[in-house]
Amino acid sequence: MVKAVSALMTAALQVFAAEPALKMDRHFADMRVVSSDANARQLKLGYKKAVVVDLPIDIKEVLVADPATVTVIIRTTRRVYITGVGFGKTNIFFFGHDGRQIAALAVSVSEFAQPHPLE
Protein backbone atom coordinates (compact mmCIF):
# COMPACT_ATOMS: atom_id res chain seq x y z
CA MET A 1 0.00 0.00 0.00
CA VAL A 2 2.84 2.38 0.82
CA LYS A 3 4.41 1.66 -2.58
CA ALA A 4 1.08 2.42 -4.30
CA VAL A 5 0.72 5.75 -2.46
CA SER A 6 4.35 6.62 -3.17
CA ALA A 7 3.91 5.83 -6.86
CA LEU A 8 0.73 7.92 -6.97
CA MET A 9 2.48 10.86 -5.29
CA THR A 10 5.41 10.60 -7.69
CA ALA A 11 3.03 10.60 -10.67
CA ALA A 12 1.18 13.62 -9.27
CA LEU A 13 4.45 15.53 -8.78
CA GLN A 14 5.46 14.77 -12.37
CA VAL A 15 2.15 16.16 -13.64
CA PHE A 16 2.54 19.34 -11.56
CA ALA A 17 6.16 19.72 -12.69
CA ALA A 18 5.09 19.35 -16.32
CA GLU A 19 2.26 21.90 -16.01
CA PRO A 20 4.48 25.02 -16.39
CA ALA A 21 6.01 23.47 -19.50
CA LEU A 22 2.54 22.88 -20.94
CA LYS A 23 1.57 26.48 -20.22
CA MET A 24 4.83 27.65 -21.81
CA ASP A 25 4.10 25.60 -24.95
CA ARG A 26 0.67 27.24 -25.23
CA HIS A 27 2.32 30.65 -24.77
CA PHE A 28 4.79 29.97 -27.59
CA ALA A 29 1.99 28.69 -29.81
CA ASP A 30 0.53 32.23 -29.72
CA MET A 31 3.89 33.79 -30.57
CA ARG A 32 4.82 34.67 -34.14
CA VAL A 33 8.06 35.93 -35.63
CA VAL A 34 7.44 39.27 -37.33
CA SER A 35 10.99 39.88 -38.48
CA SER A 36 13.91 37.70 -39.43
CA ASP A 37 17.24 37.86 -41.18
CA ALA A 38 16.40 34.74 -43.22
CA ASN A 39 16.28 36.91 -46.35
CA ALA A 40 18.75 39.54 -45.18
CA ARG A 41 20.96 41.21 -47.72
CA GLN A 42 24.68 40.97 -46.98
CA LEU A 43 26.60 44.18 -46.41
CA LYS A 44 30.40 44.17 -45.99
CA LEU A 45 31.68 47.34 -44.40
CA GLY A 46 35.15 48.52 -43.45
CA TYR A 47 36.02 49.69 -39.95
CA LYS A 48 35.32 53.44 -39.67
CA LYS A 49 33.78 53.38 -43.17
CA ALA A 50 30.22 54.33 -44.05
CA VAL A 51 27.55 53.52 -46.57
CA VAL A 52 24.34 55.34 -47.47
CA VAL A 53 21.22 53.21 -47.95
CA ASP A 54 17.99 54.41 -49.56
CA LEU A 55 14.90 52.38 -48.72
CA PRO A 56 11.80 52.07 -50.90
CA ILE A 57 9.28 53.23 -48.28
CA ASP A 58 9.28 55.43 -45.18
CA ILE A 59 11.04 54.10 -42.08
CA LYS A 60 9.30 54.18 -38.72
CA GLU A 61 11.71 52.06 -36.62
CA VAL A 62 15.23 50.64 -36.86
CA LEU A 63 16.64 47.79 -34.79
CA VAL A 64 20.42 47.29 -34.59
CA ALA A 65 21.34 44.00 -32.93
CA ASP A 66 24.81 45.16 -31.86
CA PRO A 67 25.25 48.94 -31.69
CA ALA A 68 28.93 48.41 -30.79
CA THR A 69 29.47 47.16 -34.37
CA VAL A 70 27.57 49.74 -36.42
CA THR A 71 25.98 53.11 -35.95
CA VAL A 72 22.82 53.83 -37.92
CA ILE A 73 21.69 57.40 -38.47
CA ILE A 74 18.27 58.00 -39.96
CA ARG A 75 18.89 60.98 -42.22
CA THR A 76 15.43 61.14 -43.84
CA THR A 77 12.37 58.91 -43.72
CA ARG A 78 13.95 56.82 -46.50
CA ARG A 79 17.71 57.35 -46.17
CA VAL A 80 20.05 55.94 -43.51
CA TYR A 81 23.77 56.24 -42.92
CA ILE A 82 25.51 53.10 -41.62
CA THR A 83 29.02 53.38 -40.15
CA GLY A 84 31.27 50.52 -39.05
CA VAL A 85 32.36 51.39 -35.50
CA GLY A 86 33.56 47.98 -34.28
CA PHE A 87 34.76 44.70 -35.71
CA GLY A 88 32.18 41.94 -35.96
CA LYS A 89 28.80 41.03 -37.35
CA THR A 90 25.35 42.38 -36.63
CA ASN A 91 21.86 42.65 -38.07
CA ILE A 92 19.87 45.74 -38.90
CA PHE A 93 16.09 45.62 -39.34
CA PHE A 94 13.99 48.42 -40.83
CA PHE A 95 10.26 48.67 -40.13
CA GLY A 96 7.52 50.76 -41.73
CA HIS A 97 4.63 52.63 -40.12
CA ASP A 98 2.48 49.47 -40.21
CA GLY A 99 5.11 47.56 -38.19
CA ARG A 100 6.11 45.34 -41.07
CA GLN A 101 9.71 44.69 -41.98
CA ILE A 102 10.92 46.79 -44.91
CA ALA A 103 14.38 45.27 -45.10
CA ALA A 104 16.99 43.33 -43.15
CA LEU A 105 20.75 43.61 -43.45
CA ALA A 106 23.40 41.19 -42.25
CA VAL A 107 26.39 43.49 -41.74
CA SER A 108 29.98 42.38 -41.40
CA VAL A 109 32.55 44.96 -40.28
CA SER A 110 36.22 44.17 -40.82
CA GLU A 111 39.46 46.08 -41.10
CA PHE A 112 39.93 45.69 -44.83
CA ALA A 113 36.39 45.37 -46.18
CA GLN A 114 35.43 47.87 -48.83
CA PRO A 115 31.88 49.17 -48.85
CA HIS A 116 30.13 46.52 -50.84
CA PRO A 117 26.94 46.86 -52.89
CA LEU A 118 24.04 45.06 -51.29
CA GLU A 119 23.84 41.52 -52.64
Q: What is the CATH number of the domain that holds 70?
A: 2.60.40.10
Question: What single letter denotes the amino acid at residue 25?
Answer: D
Whether the pLDDT of residue 35 is over 70: the answer is no
Q: Where residue 102 falls among pLDDT bands split at 50, 70, 90?
A: very high
DSSP 88: E
25 and 49 in a common domain:
no
99 lies in some domain: yes
Q: Nearest Cα to 46, choosing from 116, 118, 119, 109? A: 109
Mean model confidence pLDDT for the chain: 81
Least Cα distance to 82 among 67, 97, 95, 96 occurs for: 67
Same-domain check for residues 47 and 97: yes
Does pTM surpass 0.85? no
The more confidently predicted of residues 82 and 35 is: 82
Kindly state whether residues 66 and 93 are assigned to the same domain.
yes
Structural domains in the chain (count): 2
pLDDT of 15 higher than 60: no
Per-residue exposure over 59-89, b if at least 16 CB sit within 10 Å of its own CB, e if not: beeeebeeeebbebeeeeeeebebbbbeeee
- One domain for residues 63 and 6: no
87 in any annotated domain: yes
